[in-house]
Amino acid sequence: MMFSFLVIDDDDLDCMIAKKFISLTGKATEISVMQSANEALNFLSGFEYTAPSFSWVIVLDVMMPGMDGFQFLDEFSKFPPSIKRHFRIMILTLSNDPYRLKKLGEYPTVSAVLEKPITLEKLNDTLLKIQESVA
Amino acid sequence: MTNQLAVDKIKILYLDDERPSLNAFKAVLREQHEVFITTNEQHAYELLDQHRDIRIVFSDQSMPTHSGTDFFEKISHLYPLPIRILVTGYNEDEQHIIDAINRGNIFRYLKKPWSVETLNRIIAEANKSYLTTSLLQQKNSELTEAYAELDKFAYSVSHDMRGPLAGIMSAMQLLRITDDPDERKEIVEIAINSAERLDRYIINLHDYYSIRRGKLSITEIDLVILKKELEQLYEAMANAKQIEFSINLHVEEPFRNDEMAIRLILTNLISNAFKYQKKAGESKYVEVDIEVENGVAVFSVRDNGIGIKEHYLTEIFTLFFRASLDEAGSGLGLYNVKNVVEQLGGQISVASTFDVGSTFRVVLPNK
């Protein structure tokens, strides 16, 4: 299964790294990068969805200045199901704080949490998990 | 401490239904202290409310409408800080005093008729107890604040150090599975950038601690030499980024200050001015003015860079705040600058227009 990716991370180096690893999985049809949650929300709300069902994976950083990952998730959950069904969200975080991870797990829109540093193995596993959750 | 007790005018409140007792009390103490007297319980509350710095409260035990114990029990909840002292009649029932100690949580009791000597001794002891308690409370809230900052600090530090480190680890992983030479070059660039970021962060962190711990050492600073050093320091960056860099000196008197602190202020502000430039700007500049006259030093750092959005202006000096996502920042730099400026008894201000440029202005007393 192939996906379109949307990477949301304020850090340009992290974006570059995520992009490289995603392309190495061989599962990306396209990779978009947004450096703020606001930008991503604008993109999502103005987007024309041509694909019939789920085909996008959002890779989301949690700690961002301005709107952080949690606030993005809150906003995202307000989108109508007709939009939401196109997306699965993968959290990319440095945090190993159990409280934070638990809080993230409570969002129904979050399909997986990947702890930084990112590796190809971790990314492949996570994508497989997302794929299985759809099927 | 004893000296301070003698010098300080202590605010004292005395509630009693007998006017003569009140008057005698005030007559003895009014030279040394600020004394409030009243026969009315309600009025006593009002006084406590108006004068939050009342340190000692005396109250008679047997009053027609209520007992001193009841009064103390109430104010121990409403106004817990002042020290409570019960004044008792000659034949006071022992049970009343025990009650006052248990319910009213009183510090001492004073038996009528009292001697001036006893009264003064009790006041001195009460004042000492008040000061100790207040000091403890103040230390306590300072400590709570410090803990909160430490929590925030520990979290941010681990996040900001692990971030670049994770970048380096991932880049190395990538390098292992990438063959294309151009891509490998790009990945090495990522690793170097991450390492530099980590290094910058640690330098800032070090600054942060030396500011908080550091004692200032005031010496005469040769601004001509400092100007030369700064020009050399930023020459490469100015050339690479095509930015006009100039420092103007207007020095009318010798400048005395802490040299480390001045360097920290200037390098942070100048580095920011270089960093937050427009990517495609034309005739970019960073201008520094240093003026020393009439016992005041003014440093201005001006640029025509990206500027700061108005709603961020009040927050830019906050610990770990970052207004721009375009450049790597630790959120420590301006916080450090502000801290140092305040330690030197100076002020920092910023004027900025988004997309036009910023001017940071630091005013310091010449020591």
User: What ipTM does the predicted assembly reach?
Assistant: 0.78
Q: Do A13 and B322 touch (CB under 8 A)?
A: no
Question: Structure pTM?
Answer: 0.54
Question: For B119-141, how does the pLDDT look when each residue is reduced to its tens digit (9 = 90+)?
Answer: 999 999 999 999 998 889 888 88
The tally of domains found in chain A comes to: 1
What's the domain count of chain B?
A: 2
Q: Domain residues for B310?
A: 214-365
CB contact under 8 Å between B163 and A14, yes or no, is yes
In this structure, are B107 and B222 located in the same domain? no
Report whether B216 contacts B261 (CB < 8 A): yes
Domain of A64 in residue numbering reads as 8-44+53-120
A32: CATH: 3.40.50.2300
B171 near A CB under 8 A: yes
pLDDT (tens digit per residue) in B267-325: 889 988 998 888 777 889 999 999 999 999 999 999 998 888 887 887 787 766 665 54
Task: Please report the residues numbered 46 through 65 in chain A whose beta carbons come closer than 8 angstroms to any beta carbon of chain B.
Answer: 63-65
Cα–Cα distances in Å, from B362 out to A7, B29, B306, B335, B350?
40, 49, 20, 14, 9
In whole angstroms, how large is the CA radius of gyration of chain A?
A: 14
- Across the interface, of B162, B187, B326, the residue whose CB is closest to A94 is B162
The verdict on residue B262 lying in a domain is yes
For an interface test with B, which of A12, A17, A67 has the most B Cβ atoms less than 10 Å from its Cβ? A17
* Residue after which a domain boundary falls, among B59, B86, B114: B114
What CATH number corresponds to the domain at position B37? Answer: 3.40.50.2300
Q: How far is A13 from chain B (nearest CA, A)?
A: 6
Name which of A83, A76, A18, A23 is nearest A56 in CA terms.
Answer: A83
- Complete DSSP assignment for B285-322: EEEEEEEEETTEEEEEEEE-SS---GGGTTTTTSTT--
The alpha-carbon gap from B186 to the nearest alpha carbon of chain A, in Å, equals: 10
Residue B158 Cα, gap to closest chain A Cα (Å): 9
Q: Do A13 and B167 touch (CB under 8 A)?
A: yes
Give the residue from chain B lying closest to A65, CA to CA.
Answer: B322
- B218 shares its domain with B110: no
Using the Cβ of B169 and the Cβ atoms of chain A, whether some distance falls under 8 Å is answered with yes
The mean pLDDT value of chain A amounts to 87
Is B60 within the bounds of a domain?
A: yes
Task: Verify whether the Cβ–Cβ distance A35 to B166 is below 8 Å.
Answer: no
B184 to chain A, any CB pair closer than 8 A? The answer is: no
Mean pLDDT in residue range A53-60: 88
Does a structural domain hold residue A135?
no
